Structure 1
Amino acid sequence: MKIKTESSIKKKTDLLCGFVLENSNKVLGLSKIDRKIALSVNQSLKDMEGKLGKLSIIPLPEDKYTKRILLAGLGKREEWTEDTLRNVSGKIAQKARELKLKEFSIILPPSFEIDPISSISQIIEGSKMALYKFDKFKAEKTENEPNLTIIVSESNKISKAIRTSEIVADSAIFTKSIANLPPNECTPTTLANFAKMISKKNKMKCSVISKLELKKKGFGGISAVGQGSKNEPKLIVLEHNNGPTNQKPIVLVGKAVTFDTGGISLKPGDKMDEMKFDKCGGCTVLGIMKAVSELRLPINVVGIIPSVENMPGGESYRPGDIIKLYSGKTAEILNTDAEGRLILADALSYGEKQFSPKAIIDFATLTGACIIALGTNVAAIVSNDEKLTRKINDSSKRTSEEIWELPLNQDYMDMIKSDVADMKNVGIGRAAGTITAAAFLKNAINNTPWIHFDIAGVAWTQTATKEKSYNPKGATGFGVRLILDYLQKLES
């Protein structure tokens, strides 16, 4: 999709789209139209009533500047969220594709209704992401992707907003594309190759620590989880060094289990195919790092991705094993399906020790308990720093990637104490499963501000996932837009 701006609503276009508030008698930003066209528009306004997500198309005579006008309902103004325009724009883009159009135009709502810069990002993100379809392995591809023109009345700062929004949306799509790959097409080595590709293109430093070196350097968690598979484990490190040399970086860590059988503690067969999505945390970090470099943010950011395949076999780690993590602490293994916290603990400790960061943020499809607690539309967060949590919450509201903070006090830390090691890799029964997993991770952090995202419920579309036009079936790219918003606010 190519995106550009135009100052006139009388631009030649296949489809001119305008937004309508519920029970409104006007189209936002649409004025000075022919009387005959106005009559048709007014009738459609009465029929559709501006209901949220409702679309109405008005065909026009051939000699007009547009072949059709599309009215898109935004619902009641007082019920708008930051996601309303994004979701409805996605529906418009999908309708343009359905009509097999080469291009379409959307009128930017006037600034008295909504901030134009926010509108730009929401329209572009919704339109681009709604047209994404994972058809890599289908004989019949979804070919046409209509181009978008945004009709604006004021162009100040618009061009920068468009470029930024395109990069953010493309990076979320990049994340989805990798996360959707099946396990036979995406191993830890494949992820490392993706990292090398984006680092080469965007001039970032990339290093990959492989099996023998991982063992030699004391990455006991990554080594143990990855030893049961013929596909060797990797620790992938990307560095964007565009800030002052003395500036502490933000470290992002993403769990990337390219396929999770559960290991010796084998998962049930039902829905095990979805465990290709157990790499979503790492894919999120890849997408963020891609965008950070393309946006040339004047800050320092490090992406760390521990990647393994968790398989049963003669060399697999076992329940009852005691392993030594990178931090020097020991962990008793009670369940080999609680593997994500082991590889994350190594990566978190390494990130803190190696880079002395300003903050550490991690993403992981970590616990099924998170889905029980919060469902499939809200991610859980656990943090040790109120200021960092506040900033992340602000970005969550702007990007509509919803989060909810869970507590982490000493009682939860006590629940993972082991009789034979420093800690055990599961808590007590089914109680507080999401929090005890986070407690395990907290043991890997010393004093650095840290926030943990459990994205098990939101990383891909599941049975109870709320339908959004820009989240087609499969991986959602959750967290990419949120963290990019946070990082851009750091820049400013």
Structure 2
Amino acid sequence: MEYFVKSGNPEKQRVACVIVGIFERRSPTTMAEIIDRASGGAVGSVMRRGDMDGKLGQSLVLHNVPGTFADRVMLVGLGRERGFDEAAFRKAIAASSSALRNTGSIDAVNFLTHQEIKGRDFRWNVLQALLATQAEYYRFDACRGEQAREDLPSYKLERLTFDVPRRSDLPAGEAGMRDALAIGVGQALAKDLGNLPGNLCTPTYLAETAQALASRKGVKVRVLEEADMQQLGMGSLLSVSAGSRQPAKLIVLEYLNGPKGEKPVALVGKGLTFDAGGISIKPAAQMDEMKFDMCGGAAVLGTFKAVQELELPINLVGVVAASENLPDGQAVKPGDVVTSMAGITIEVLNTDAEGRLILADALTYVEREFDPAVCIDMATLTGACVVALGGYPSGLFANNAGLARALTQAGEQIGDRVWELPLWPEYDDHIKSECADIANIATKNGREGGAIIGATFLHRFTRKMKWAHLDIAGTAWIGKKATGRPVPLLVQYLLNLAARQSED
């Protein structure tokens, strides 16, 4: 589908559908009022009959409205005018996109992007509208048979235009469209990888996906095999893959489009393509969802895809630690002690706390190989984070206040929010081991503060870096569908970084 930004009058659009908004209590927006006047009161008549009262997410399609050139006029409920905010805007756009699918329209112009939102400009409006539309139109059918794919309903919409009030708003709208298209491409890649089952999306498949990114100019990819990891002393990572027939991969990506010699931003992702828990095997219920345990790695690849599209003038490196975690005769056992690349010994008290084990070596590798300006890891690390925060924000931990603020700001801008949790030294005592340097789960106070304990473990391997950890266990997927988060957050953070560097 093609997207456009323009500025025009709703009654003069020669398209299959024009979309305008109605607030609660049958209060038309300016664009709806223009349609109403041009049609001799058609919109007002519909509202007086009670067919549309403006409740948020409500939609109604009118056909052959007199005085207009469009085949259809769609009225979309915006809710209370005083309470119209960012969340209401996204919901209204999603409702319009969902309803548009069922109209059979080939092209449409959406005027909801005219609505002013406090603290936001028309770049934001267009960006959010396009992202919400792409989310509605995303479909994963890679695992369906050919006939089943043919039988799925097809979407006829080919062109969608977002309208802005004035010609002077076009540059902002076009910038929003450019950024949203890139974020959307990266988010779709992360969704596709997350939605694939574990027998297809293996560590090797993730490596091949990364290598496909390198087919375009700007990205270089290296893949470290298990023999390479053994030579580097990555006993922590290799302990997780010991029970799998699928070899682990350490996927290293480089995008160096910034000033020569400038330290890069490093992204590190957990790429557990399936997690059965190892010897500490998980319950059978919902174990199928553990195919999503690689969503941190998918987010790294999706972010690189978006940065590639945007051609951002930054230096960026990425590392995806990819493995399976399965029970086997050679699998690591509870009570085993392994030695990480950093030389820190780890008592593995629970083999299902494996994400931190593979990330430990990946983080050490990043520190030694790249000495990054900042390092951000992302992982579906703990169910405790889901209990603490639900599925709305990702958990944020950071050893640098400025980095935490920058990520929080980016999340608020793009609508991919985070919430910071403490990383206090008092928690260090919780991972003391009786026979090794540290344990991979809490050795005191049971399951208390589980998300913090996971972050505390990772912090032992990141003390020399400006570092942040994103626990995305509650946000990487909803139900049985990947969300592609935190790709929007990461891309917005990098956009902000590039903008600050250009000002300097």
Of 460, 468, 475, which residue of structure 2 is paired with 1:451?
468
How much does 1:30 deviate?
Answer: 4.8
1:377 match: secondary structure: coil
Distance (Å, rounded) in 1 between the aligned partners of 2:84 and 2:67: 36
Greater CA drift, 377-386 or 78-87: 78-87
Aligned to 1:143: 154
> What is the one-letter code of the residue matched to 2:411?
S
Going from structure 1 to structure 2, the CA distance change for 1:112 and 1:342 (only over 3 Å counts) comes to closer
Q: Tell me how many residue pairs correspond in the alignment.
A: 482
Question: SS where residue 363 of structure 2 aligns?
Answer: helix
Matched, 1:213 2:228: yes
Structure 2 residue matching 1:201: 3-state secondary structure:
coil
**How far apart, CA to CA, are the structure 2 residues paired with 1:65 and 1:275?**
51
Aligned positions of 1:265-344 closer than 5 A: 265-344=280-359
SS of the residue corresponding to residue 215 of structure 2 reads: helix
Say if 1:229 and 1:19 are closer, same or farther in 2 by CA, change over 3 A. same
Match of 2:17 in 1: 15
> Which residue of 2 is the match for residue 460 of structure 1?
477
Of residues 75, 78, 83 in structure 1, which corresponds to 2:79? 75
Structure 1 residue 242 corresponds to structure 2 residue 257: yes
Give the match for residue 106 of structure 2. Answer: 102
Q: Does 1:171 align with 2:186?
A: yes
Q: Which string of whole-angstrom CA distances, capped at 9 and with x for unpartnered residues, describes residues 227-262 of structure 1? A: 211110000111110001121111111101000000
**Cα shift at 1:358:** 1.1
Which residue identity does 1:392 align to in structure 2?
Answer: L
Name whichever of 284-293 and 150-159 sits farther off.
150-159
Q: Give me the whole-angstrom Cα distance separating, in 1, the residues matched to 2:348 and 2:486.
A: 30
Equivalence for 1:26 = 28
Alignment of 1:40-439 (within 5 A): 40-45=42-47, 47=50, 48-61=52-65, 64-110=68-114, 115-138=121-144, 139-140=148-149, 141-144=152-155, 146=157, 147-152=159-164, 153-154=166-167, 155-427=170-442, 428=444, 429-439=446-456
Instruction: Name the aligned partner's letter for residue 162 of structure 2.
Output: I
In the alignment, which residue of structure 1 is the partner of 2:502? none
**Which deviates further from its counterpart, 390-399 or 49-58?**
49-58
- The change in CA–CA distance for 1:36 and 1:241 in structure 2 (over 3 A counts) is closer
One-letter amino acid of the structure 2 residue matched with residue 41 of structure 1: V
Contact 1:26/1:45 (8 A) holds in 2 = no
Q: 1:19·1:109 contact (CA, 8 Å) conserved in 2?
A: no
The letter of the residue matching 1:480 is V
Q: Which amino acid aligns with 1:351?
A: V
Q: Distance in 2 between matches of 1:202 and 1:94?
A: 36
- 1:374-394 deviations in whole A, cap 9, x for unaligned? 222222111111111111111
Conserved 8 A contact 2:22-2:32: no
Counterpart code for 1:17: I
Letter in structure 2 aligned against 1:98: N
Alpha-carbon distance in structure 2 between the residues aligned to 1:43 and 1:115: 33
Query: What is the CA deviation profile of residues 261-316 of structure 1, one whole-angstrom value per residue up to 9, with x for unaligned ones?
Result: 00011101000000000011110111011111110111111111000011111111
C-alpha separation between the residues in 1 aligned to 2:393 and 2:179? Answer: 25
Compared CA separation, residues 250 and 158, structure 1 to 2 (3 A): same
Give the distance between the partners of 1:423 and 1:292, measured in 2 at CA. Answer: 37
Q: Tell me if the contact between 1:28 and 1:109 (Cα under 8 Å) persists in the aligned partners.
A: no
**Identity across the alignment (%):** 37
Partner of 2:2: 2
Q: CA RMSD in A?
A: 1.9
Tell me how far 1:96 sits from its aligned partner: 1.4
Aligned residues of 1:108 and 1:116 also touching (Cα < 8 A): no
Q: Residue 4 of structure 2 aligns to which amino acid in structure 1?
A: K
- Post-superposition offset of 1:103: 2.2
Is contact 2:266-2:366 (8 Å) kept?
A: yes
Structure 2 residue runs without a partner (length 5+): 500-504
Q: Is the CA contact (8 Å cut-off) linking 2:243 and 2:329 kept in structure 1?
A: yes
Identify if the C-alpha distance between structure 1 residues 38 and 109 changes in structure 2 by more than 3 Å, giving closer, same or farther: farther
TM, length-normalised to structure 1: 0.94
Tell me, in whole angstroms, the C-alpha distance in 1 between the residues paired with 2:279 and 2:156.
45
**Structure 1 stretches of 5 or more lacking a match?**
463-472
Q: Does structure 1 retain, via aligned residues, the 8 Å contact 2:382–2:451?
A: yes
The whole-number CA distance in structure 2 between the counterparts of 1:109 and 1:92 is 12
In structure 2, relative to structure 1, the CA distance for the partners of 1:38 and 1:313 (3 Å cut) is farther
Deviation (angstroms), 1:178: 0.9
- Larger helix proportion, structure 1 or 2? 2
Q: Deviations over 1:199-236 (max 9, x none)?
A: 21243011110111111111112211012111100001
Could you tell me how far apart the structure 2 residues matched to 1:179 and 1:104 are?
31
- Cα offsets for 1:385-417 (capped at 9, x unmatched): 111111111111112223221112122111001
Q: Residue 145 of structure 1: CA displacement? A: 5.2
The residue type paired with residue 143 of structure 1 is S
